[in-house]
Amino acid sequence: MIARVPASTANIGPGFDTLALAVSLYLEVESEPSTSFQVTAHGYGHNGQVGQDHLGARVAEYVLGHSNVHLTVRSQIPLGRGLGSSAAFVAACAAALEAEDPFQVACHFDGHPENAAASVFGGFVTATRIGDGFISTNLLLDPEVALVAVIPDRELATKSARGVLPDNIPFTDASFNLGRFGLLVAGFADIDHLRREATEDRLHQDYRKALFPESSFLIEALIASGSICACWSGAGPTMVGFCRKDDREAVALKANTLLSSKESGYSVKALEVDNRGLVTSMSYRSGFEPLEVASLL
């Protein structure tokens, strides 16, 4: 079985741990029976782990009760960049192993239901935990919404990004985020109403600047390049700017020009929203072509 899922950009400013958008970078997992756990990785599919410590082995044990599988992973999603690579991998792995509910499996292992929901269901989603399970709902999204991602050539571990967040926040900051949350949802439903303030946030982005000081410059560069609004992608260090679909190539080109003088390396990607989410096939000939992973960062 072969399963393919899109990457995701989560939080989107004020939607901390609740909102995500599926984007046009992909990861696929192909599973075959084996006498032991094996993994072959292409592109960004390798995280250095082998044997039973590999996340794929743990997912297989959870889904199948054993890990006697050979997984082939092909990924366009860079690791540790805030693009939901972990949730995408678990969702694709669970689906390739024919799990009954890949979304729940991804939530169980990754702990970020919004990333898992975007990868499995596609589009613009909200997701959360209720009781012992996770739920998600697709939200209205204007088909004109597209994005440009500035992806740094270095990682920022989610655990580190979580570690700088406070245990408590002022009431005024919570109220601020709720107001921006409404602006964002309304703007994504109708891009004519999307405005720069929609991705402002007081719950996580300002606290994480200490780990990635360039974030403010990158956000301003995306705005100067024509993005309507811009923010951190997940826990970073990728920054994303939102624009009209027809403008994304021009925004990416201008952003790349603005960043070309910086010493640190960045890859600028003009991306679309993926509205399909998880797709599966028994074989490439009956389904889709192997994922292209050669021309990445």
For residue 199, give the nearest of 171, 237, 227, 163 by alpha carbon: 227
Domains, the chain, with CATH or none: 2-139 (3.30.230.10), 145-271 (3.30.70.890)
pTM of the model: 0.92
Q: How confident is the model at residue 286 (pLDDT cuts 50, 70, 90)?
A: very low
273-282 average pLDDT score? 92
Question: How many Å apart are CA 184 and CA 123, to the nearest integer?
Answer: 15
Percentage of residues in the chain having pLDDT higher than 90:
82
Indicate whether 295 pLDDT > 70: no
Could you report the per-residue pLDDT of 124-144, keeping only the tens digit for each?
Answer: 999 999 998 999 999 999 999
State the pLDDT at residue 79: 92
Question: How many Å apart are CA 283 and CA 272, to the nearest integer?
Answer: 26
Partners of 10 in beta bridges: 20
For residue 24, CA distances in Å to 4, 9, 76, 256 come to 11, 10, 9, 19
Could you report the per-residue pLDDT of 144-182, keeping only the tens digit for each?
Answer: 999 999 999 988 888 888 899 999 999 999 999 999 999
Could you report the per-residue pLDDT of 37-77, keeping only the tens digit for each?
Answer: 999 999 886 555 567 789 999 999 999 999 999 999 999 99
State the pLDDT at residue 291: 73
Q: How confident is the model at residue 194 (pLDDT cuts 50, 70, 90)?
A: very high
Longest dimension (CA), the chain: 57
120/52: higher pLDDT: 120
State the pLDDT at residue 227: 98
State the pLDDT at residue 297: 43
Task: Give the mean pLDDT of the chain.
Answer: 92
